[in-house]
């Protein structure tokens, strides 16, 4: 059974709010001074021992950021963010490689245990010498990259993957080891000046994952990154870059949690995907950042730019996201369908409970002929939650025979929440076909009655119905994540019914 799932079951009762990842790890950390200026950008770059071109790239991003204004068009409300009142670099200070788990900072180990990462992976992640890359017994191997605040702390199964020529490592490591690849692709999908948060990320990104799948290789295991914001007053700015060369295939999972705090913390990540001819990238996210308490205090501001470029013919990029956490989610994973016959997919479940706000959706840019896209979005609002689907389907003049199908369904639980749908459809090609459907409703009384009659509690009945509502999306998730996501949906809706 996947570790994450076990944790959910066992730790469920620990915290009263239902958020089980709210602990804070008291670990020795190194911080850069608070605030944001050119020196901090230089500090981060120096800390990472980066080449000059990357520092210049960062500085250009910072210069652009200073000229930009925070986007205000999303249907989310939050007080102004003081960008000078945060740490832009925080890292665990451990220096020497430990010999066994006993020497590893026990707090770090506790964190892994609480997050549900089993011992064997813990050793690998903690960097114990000789731990090797053998998976724990009876489990399908999943290669994990763990990012703790600003830095990638460990990556497992690197050697096994290297046999196939696959590069899976922290992006800071990739800058050292494979600078030509990073330089070739970094910022080509999400340029530095793309938007306010992407510019901020480009200036101060500290770590993230880098994946390169060579020509014709089918990645033998799921790749996964685990993101954790731990330290107080930090922002997390990770940057992920995945390149799937001709004919390759990769499935990538992303998970995230953060401690419970009264203050809001900023998470501004950038993810760039590049798929060449006949390549497939499947990117799955279970986003479970701390959502704030029942009164809407605290929680993560999740302002993320994710975009994939289907550069090659017949390439495919598929985004699947389950968004249950964060006080505010601002996120539009997109596909640029350049290659002919390329395919973009977006499957999303977004839940807002208590005072959570989500403004999320996708953009599908059809450029090449016969490009296809599918969008399935399920929004669930409960408590005072506000949930917005915002999406764009743009068909260019040359995208002959392009095809899009969009379905956005919203479910309302309680009369204080809101569900909104804002799709934009722009078509310049007569032979393209675009279809869009959206519905909004609440859980039907007869469905609830049916379940209650068969002995289910009100909460279980709602959980069952919600899972059914989201089924089309959940079935797109890799198995390990699907189980976790189902539980998360139920936990996220706790206290919203009855």
Partner 1 sequence: MTAATQTGAAGFLARYEGLKDHLPGARKPWLNALRADAAAQFAARGFPTRRVEQWKYTDLAPLAQAGFAEPLTMVDGTIALPPALAAHRAVFVDGRFRADLSALDGLACRATGLAQQLADAEPHLGALARPDSEPLAALNTMLFEDGLFLDVPAGVDGGLLELVSVAVDPGRPFAFHPRHLLRLGAGARLTLIETAIGGGACLHNPVFEVDVAEGATLTHGRMLQEAATVFHLSTIYARIAAEGTYDNFTVAAGPRLTRNEIHAALTGPRAACHMNGAQMAAEGQHVDTTTSLDHAAPDCASRQTYKTVLAGRSRGVFQGKILVRREAQKTDGYQMNQALLLSEDAEIDSKPQLEIYADDVKCSHGATVGALDPDSLFYLRARGIPEAQAKAMLVEAFLHEAVETVTDDTLRGALTRALDAWWARQGAAA
Smallest separation, CB 111 to partner 1 (Å): 39
Residue 430 binds partner 1 (CB under 8 A): yes
Furthest-apart CA atoms within the chain: distance in Å: 68
Residue 99 structure tokens:
């010999």
> CA-to-CA distance for 9 and 27, rounded, in angstroms?
26
Contact 287, 257 (CB under 8 A): no
Closer to partner 1 by CB, 53 or 424: give it. 424
Smallest separation, CB 348 to partner 1 (Å): 16
Residue 4 binds partner 1 (CB under 8 A): no
Contact 332, 275 (CB under 8 A): no
The secondary structure of residue 207, as a DSSP letter, is B
Closer to partner 1 by CB, 28 or 426: give it. 426
Smallest separation, CB 31 to partner 1 (Å): 41
Which member of 93, 441, 457, 458 binds partner 1 (CB under 8 A)? 441
Distance of alpha carbon 229 from the chain centroid: 13
Which member of 424, 457, 458, 468 binds partner 1 (CB under 8 A)? 424
Which member of 40, 419, 448, 473 binds partner 1 (CB under 8 A)? 419
The interface mask with partner 1, positions 364-403, x = CB under 8 A, is: ---------------------------------x------
Q: Say how many CA atoms lie within 13 Å of 31 toward its Cβ.
A: 16
Closer to partner 1 by CB, 412 or 488: give it. 412
Smallest separation, CB 71 to partner 1 (Å): 13
Residue 442 binds partner 1 (CB under 8 A): yes
Segment near partner 1 (CB under 8 A); pick from 42-50, 180-188, 223-231, 429-437: 429-437
> CA-to-CA distance for 440 and 409, rounded, in angstroms?
6
Q: How many helices (H) and strands (E) does the chain have?
A: 13, 24
Smallest separation, CB 386 to partner 1 (Å): 9
Residue 434 binds partner 1 (CB under 8 A): yes
> CA-to-CA distance for 122 and 126, rounded, in angstroms?
6
Distance of alpha carbon 182 from the chain centroid: 20
Which member of 101, 181, 438, 497 binds partner 1 (CB under 8 A)? 438
Tell me which H or E stretch contains 105: none
Smallest separation, CB 435 to partner 1 (Å): 5
Contacts of 282 (CB under 8 A, 6+ apart): 250, 251, 252, 318, 320, 478
Which member of 63, 429, 456, 483 binds partner 1 (CB under 8 A)? 429
Residue 421 binds partner 1 (CB under 8 A): yes
Residue 215 binds partner 1 (CB under 8 A): no
Question: How much helix, strand and coil, in percent to the nearest 5, is found in the chain?
Answer: 25, 35, 40
Segment near partner 1 (CB under 8 A); pick from 1-9, 43-51, 52-60, 436-444: 436-444
Smallest separation, CB 397 to partner 1 (Å): 8
176: exposed, middle or buried (C-beta count within 10 Å: 0-12, 13-18, 19+)?
middle
Smallest separation, CB 428 to partner 1 (Å): 5
Closer to partner 1 by CB, 68 or 101: give it. 68
Smallest separation, CB 408 to partner 1 (Å): 9
CA distances from 342 to 184, 297, 394, 399 (A): 22, 43, 15, 11
Please give the full DSSP string across 297-339, using - where no structure is assigned.
Answer: -SEEEEEEEEEEEE-STT-EEEEEEEE---SEEEE--EEEE-S
Residue 281 binds partner 1 (CB under 8 A): no
Contact 248, 215 (CB under 8 A): yes
Interface of this chain with partner 1, residues 399 to 418, rule: CB under 8 A = 410, 412-418
Residue 432 binds partner 1 (CB under 8 A): yes
Residue 496 binds partner 1 (CB under 8 A): no
Residue 449 binds partner 1 (CB under 8 A): no
Which member of 6, 435, 457, 460 binds partner 1 (CB under 8 A)? 435
Tell me which H or E stretch contains 222: strand 222-228
Neighbours of 423 (CB within 10 A): 18
Closer to partner 1 by CB, 45 or 410: give it. 410
> CA-to-CA distance for 309 and 274, rounded, in angstroms?
5
Smallest separation, CB 438 to partner 1 (Å): 5
Interface of this chain with partner 1, residues 21 to 80, rule: CB under 8 A = 73
Residue 274 binds partner 1 (CB under 8 A): no
Smallest separation, CB 389 to partner 1 (Å): 9
Closer to partner 1 by CB, 132 or 401: give it. 401
Neighbours of 321 (CB within 10 A): 27
Closer to partner 1 by CB, 267 or 390: give it. 390
Residue 302 binds partner 1 (CB under 8 A): no
**Planar angle of CA 125, 128, 134, nearest 5 degrees:** 70
Tell me the number of residues near partner 1 by CB under 8 A: 34
**What is the 3-state secondary structure of 150-201?**
CEEEEECCHHHHHHCCCEEEEHHHHHHHCHHHHHHHCCCCCCCCCCHHHHHH
Interface of this chain with partner 1, residues 71 to 110, rule: CB under 8 A = 73
Closer to partner 1 by CB, 47 or 436: give it. 436
Residues engaged in binding partner 1 (CB under 8 A): 73, 397, 410, 412-442
């Amino acid at each position: 059974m996947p570790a994450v799932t076990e944790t959910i079951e066992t730790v469920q009762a620990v915290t009263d709010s239902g958020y089980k990842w709210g602990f804070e790890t008291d670990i020795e950390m190194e911080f850069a001074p608070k605030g944001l200026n050119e020196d901090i950008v230089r500090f981060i770059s120096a800390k990472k021992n980066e080449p000059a071109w990357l520092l210049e790239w960062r500085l250009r991003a910072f210069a652009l950021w200073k000229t930009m204004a925070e986007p205000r068009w999303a249907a989310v409300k939050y007080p102004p963010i003081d960008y000078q009142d945060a740490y832009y670099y925080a890292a665990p200070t451990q220096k020497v490689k430990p010999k066994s788990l006993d020497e590893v900072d026990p707090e770090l180990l506790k964190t892994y245990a609480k997050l549900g990462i089993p011992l064997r992976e813990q050793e690998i992640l903690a960097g114990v010498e000789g731990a090797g890359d053998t998976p724990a017994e009876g489990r399908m191997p999943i290669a994990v990259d763990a990012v703790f605040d600003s830095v990638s702390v460990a990556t497992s199964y690197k050697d096994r993957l290297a046999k196939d020529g696959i590069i899976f490592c922290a992006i800071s490591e990739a800058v050292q080891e494979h600078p030509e690849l990073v330089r070739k692709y970094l910022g080509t999908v999400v340029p530095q000046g793309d938007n306010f948060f992407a510019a901020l990320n480009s200036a101060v990104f500290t770590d993230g994952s880098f994946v390169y799948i060579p020509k014709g290789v089918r990645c033998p295991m799921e790749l996964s990154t685990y993101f954790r914001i731990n330290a107080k007053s930090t922002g997390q700015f990770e940057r992920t870059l995945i390149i799937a060369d001709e004919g390759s295939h990769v499935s990538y999972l992303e998970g995230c949690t953060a401690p419970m705090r009264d203050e809001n913390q900023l998470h501004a990540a950038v993810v760039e995907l590049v798929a060449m001819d006949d390549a497939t990238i499947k990117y799955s996210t279970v986003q479970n950042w701390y959502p704030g308490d029942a009164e809407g205090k605290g929680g993560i501001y999740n302002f993320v730019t994710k975009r994939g470029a289907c550069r090659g013919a017949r390439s495919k990029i598929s985004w699947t996201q389950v968004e249950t956490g964060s006080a505010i989610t601002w996120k539009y994973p997109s596909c640029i369908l350049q290659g002919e016959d390329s395919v973009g997919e977006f499957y999303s479940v977004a839940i807002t409970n208590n005072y959570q706000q989500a403004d999320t959706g996708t953009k599908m840019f059809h450029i090449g002929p016969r490009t296809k896209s599918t969008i399935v979005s399920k929004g669930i609002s409960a408590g005072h939650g506000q949930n917005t689907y915002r999406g764009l389907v743009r068909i260019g003049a040359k995208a002959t025979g392009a095809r899009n199908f969009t379905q956005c369904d919203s479910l309302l639980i309680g009369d204080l929440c809101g569900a909104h749908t804002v799709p934009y459809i722009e078509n310049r090609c007569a032979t393209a076909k675009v279809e869009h459907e959206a519905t909004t409703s609440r859980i039907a009384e007869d469905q609830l009655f049916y379940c209650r009659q068969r002995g289910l509690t009100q909460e279980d009945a709602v959980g069952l119905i919600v899972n059914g509502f989201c089924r089309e999306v959940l079935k797109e998730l890799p198995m390990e994540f699907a189980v976790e996501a189902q539980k998360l949906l139920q936990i996220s809706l706790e206290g919203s019914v009855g």
